[in-house]
């Protein structure tokens, strides 16, 4: 048997050489992203520069602690990476470092939010966030009712460890019902109000949130995950003047790698120590410095004029698709949008969001079922959520989004026809998608259209599967 010294050194093999099976799956995914219309409002296509950071030597390093106060040695370079990220994060939002600080270590948005709760609340403290069926996020506190157990069920850790009374959008207007929030906060006396959400197409009224928080002596946090790219460019109102804490993900409209940030006020309440200690050692271990580098380089991008134009176009495209669908007689929740997403209410069309999502998938249009105003359950949502950040990164303009609206219209017409044939049950409906020649034909047109646009992050010319309809062995 060969000695260890004599065995081949595999550390410089490419993934293609080392693991052809996994390489092939990644190539399939690249091809899928290139030929599909990506409308998931929380997704984006990040740059090659960000991907270079994610695949860099920084992934090798442990750096528990904060810059210049680490538990391991060898962090002299990593310290500079993390400090650069902190500096750029504060600059991106025009924050004075004597008034605001930032922790750039959260692995993602959910851990960032839980770190804030861990830092600033005691177990079972009361919180109020936007209800999930109203467009809020799971980490803002959500309960369901279990019929089987005849009891409420806490769905996320937030509602396991804290007592949550959600606020809602008005069932008719779709706007946040601030009057109801004010009444409920007066009774519930929360320790924290959370603004922000995952499926809310309108601006947030931060002065009103602040006034309600002040009237009840509670903290105000904004989770700007969805709109952080718009806030950084002045395309959405800034929450910083009104909030005590602001969290965000970095991979949605900000277009960076998957990660999270926590911004905190620097004052006598010492949020800084409490939040830093909640991130590490309370909840996390070593920070992912390759991610932090990716965030840093994306924040450099965010400061450019190109990114400002991008953010403007994200909003213009959302208006364009909302107007086009409305002009065809479809119902858009709240009557339109002021940010990067729209909620398409499908109830008047007599099809569920879940069914329509499946048909969209079959024609390579990627979006998600979503509750719309008036829905009570997240299990059978009455519409879909459509976002513009990802395709705008691929240089789609308003006319292109009008074409996307036409594809969606065609998809819906096919879906309604198939539903007439199958009856209401999903299990009878799904097999029709596979055999429908109309689906196949539309999918081909979607592929031809999508593949004319550029793709950041990787070059389609170097992909293993360059056929616009995907890998040969997967085309039926």
Does 202 help bind ligand PLP (rule: CB under 6 A)?
Answer: no
- Region 69-88 residues binding ligand PLP, contact defined as CB under 6 A: none
- List phi, psi (to 5°) of 37: -100, 105
Does 419 help bind ligand PLP (rule: CB under 6 A)?
Answer: no
Does 198 help bind ligand PLP (rule: CB under 6 A)?
Answer: yes
Q: Is 223 a catalytic residue?
A: yes
204 CB-contact burial (10 Å; exposed 0-12 / middle 13-18 / buried 19+): buried
- Region 209-228 residues binding ligand PLP, contact defined as CB under 6 A: 223, 225-226
**Closest separation between CB of residue 111 and ligand PLP, Å?**
7
Identify which of residues 15 and 160 has a Cβ nearer to ligand PLP in the complex. Answer: 160
Distance of alpha carbon 267 from alpha carbon 100, whole angstroms: 9
Kindly give, in sequence order, each residue whose CB lies less than 8 Å from that of residue 400, ignoring residues fewer than 6 positions away. 317, 391, 453
Q: How many residues belong to the site for ligand PLP (CB under 6 A)?
A: 15
Pairing verdict, β 383-387 and 341-345: antiparallel
Which of 109, 141, 294, 387: binder of ligand PLP (CB under 6 A)?
109
Q: Are 414 and 439 in contact (CB under 8 A)?
A: yes
Distance of alpha carbon 291 from alpha carbon 464, whole angstroms: 27
Q: Is 395 a catalytic residue?
A: no
Does 388 help bind ligand PLP (rule: CB under 6 A)?
Answer: no
Does 137 help bind ligand PLP (rule: CB under 6 A)?
Answer: yes
Distance of alpha carbon 3 from alpha carbon 113, whole angstroms: 50
Pairing verdict, β 365-366 and 37-38: parallel
Q: Is 249 a catalytic residue?
A: yes
How would DSSP label each residue in 140-186? G--EEEETTTTEEEE-SHHHHHSEE--B-B-TTT-SB-HHHHHHHHH
Does 108 help bind ligand PLP (rule: CB under 6 A)?
Answer: yes
Does 133 help bind ligand PLP (rule: CB under 6 A)?
Answer: no
Does 323 help bind ligand PLP (rule: CB under 6 A)?
Answer: no
Residue 158 corresponds to which tokens in the numbers above? 């937030």
Does 392 help bind ligand PLP (rule: CB under 6 A)?
Answer: no
**Mutual angle of helices 353-362 and 437-450, in 10-degree steps:** 70
Q: Where are the alpha helices (DSSP H) in 245-329?
A: 271-277, 289-302, 305-327
Residue 286 corresponds to which tokens in the numbers above? 């070593």
Does 134 help bind ligand PLP (rule: CB under 6 A)?
Answer: no
Q: Is 242 a catalytic residue?
A: no
Identify which of residues 135 and 382 has a Cβ nearer to ligand PLP in the complex. Answer: 135
- Spell out a b/e string for 52-80, using b for 16 or more CB atoms within 10 Å of the CB, else e: ebbeeebeebbbbbbbeebeeeebeebbe
**Closest separation between CB of residue 195 and ligand PLP, Å?**
10
**Closest separation between CB of residue 169 and ligand PLP, Å?**
15
Region of 105-113, 273-281, 354-362, 421-429 interacting with ligand PLP (CB under 6 A): 105-113
Identify which of residues 141 and 196 has a Cβ nearer to ligand PLP in the complex. Answer: 196
Q: Is 252 a catalytic residue?
A: yes
Which candidate in 258, 274, 300, 312 is catalytic?
A: 258
Does 116 help bind ligand PLP (rule: CB under 6 A)?
Answer: no
Which of 36, 42, 47, 323: binder of ligand PLP (CB under 6 A)?
42
Which candidate in 249, 250, 334, 337 is catalytic?
A: 249
Which candidate in 252, 255, 265, 355 is catalytic?
A: 252
Q: Which residues bind ligand PLP (CB under 6 A)?
A: 42, 108-110, 113, 137, 139, 196-198, 223, 225-226, 249, 258
**Catalytic residue set:** 62, 64, 223, 249, 252, 258
């Amino acid at each position: 048997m060969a000695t260890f010294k004599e065995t081949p050194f595999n550390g410089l093999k490419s993934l293609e050489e080392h693991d052809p099976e996994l390489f092939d799956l990644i190539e399939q995914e690249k091809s899928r992203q290139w030929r599909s219309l990506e409308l998931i409002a929380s997704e984006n296509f990040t740059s090659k520069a960000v991907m270079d950071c994610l695949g860099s030597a920084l992934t090798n390093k442990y750096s528990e602690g904060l810059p210049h106060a680490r538990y391991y040695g060898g962090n002299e370079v990593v310290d500079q990476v993390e400090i650069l990220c902190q500096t750029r994060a504060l600059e991106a939002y025009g924050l004075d470092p004597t008034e605001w600080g930032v922790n750039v270590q959260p692995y993602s948005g959910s851990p960032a939010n839980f770190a804030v709760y861990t830092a600033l609340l005691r177990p079972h403290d009361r919180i109020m966030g936007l209800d999930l069926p109203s467009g809020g996020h799971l980490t803002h506190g959500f309960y369901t009712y279990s019929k089987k157990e005849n009891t409420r069920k806490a769905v996320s850790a937030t509602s396991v460890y804290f007592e949550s009374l959600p606020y809602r959008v008005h069932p008719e207007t779709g706007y946040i019902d601030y009057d109801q929030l004010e009444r409920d906060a007066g009774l519930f006396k929360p320790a924290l109000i959370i603004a922000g959400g995952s499926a809310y197409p309108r601006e947030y009224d931060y002065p009103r949130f602040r006034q309600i928080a002040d009237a009840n002596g509670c903290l105000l946090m904004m989770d700007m995950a969805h709109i952080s790219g718009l806030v950084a460019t002045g395309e959405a109102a800034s929450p910083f003047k009104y909030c005590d804490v602001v969290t965000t993900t970095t991979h949605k409209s900000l277009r960076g790698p998957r990660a999270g940030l926590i911004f905190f006020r620097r004052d006598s309440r010492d949020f800084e120590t409490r939040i830093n200690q909640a991130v590490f050692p309370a909840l996390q271990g070593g920070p992912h410095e390759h991610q932090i580098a990716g965030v840093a380089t994306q924040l450099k991008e965010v400061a450019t004029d190109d990114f400002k134009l991008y953010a403007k176009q994200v909003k213009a495209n959302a208006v364009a698709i909302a107007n086009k669908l409305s002009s065809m007689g479809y119902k858009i929740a709240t009557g339109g949008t002021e940010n990067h997403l729209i909620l398409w209410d499908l109830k008047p069309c007599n099809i569920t969001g879940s069914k329509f999502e499946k048909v969209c998938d079959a024609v390579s249009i990627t979006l998600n079922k979503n509750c719309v105003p008036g829905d009570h359950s997240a299990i059978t949502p009455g519409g879909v959520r459509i976002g513009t950040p990802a395709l705008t990164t691929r240089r789609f303009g308003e006319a292109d989004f009008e074409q996307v609206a036409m594809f969606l219209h065609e998809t819906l017409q096919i879906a309604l026809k198939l539903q007439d044939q199958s009856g209401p049950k999903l299990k009878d409906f799904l097999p029709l998608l596979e055999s429908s020649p109309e689906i196949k034909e539309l999918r081909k047109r979607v592929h031809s259209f999508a593949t004319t646009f550029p793709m950041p992050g990787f070059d389609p010319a170097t992909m293993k599967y360059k056929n616009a309809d995907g890998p040969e062995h997967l085309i039926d």
